[in-house]
Amino acid sequence: MKILKNTSMQGLSVPFATPEGVKTIFVGPKSQIEVPDNWKSKVAENLVHRRMAKLTYIPNPQPKPEAPVKKLRTKKPVESD
6-60 tens-digit pLDDT: 999 999 999 999 999 999 999 999 999 999 999 999 999 999 999 999 999 998 7
> At residue 81, does pLDDT exceed 70?
no
pLDDT, residue 68, reads 74
pLDDT, residue 15, reads 97
> What does residue 6 show for φ and ψ, rounded to 5 degrees?
-80, 115
Contact by Cβ (8 Å): 25, 36 = no
Contact by Cβ (8 Å): 15, 42 = no
> At residue 80, does pLDDT exceed 70?
no
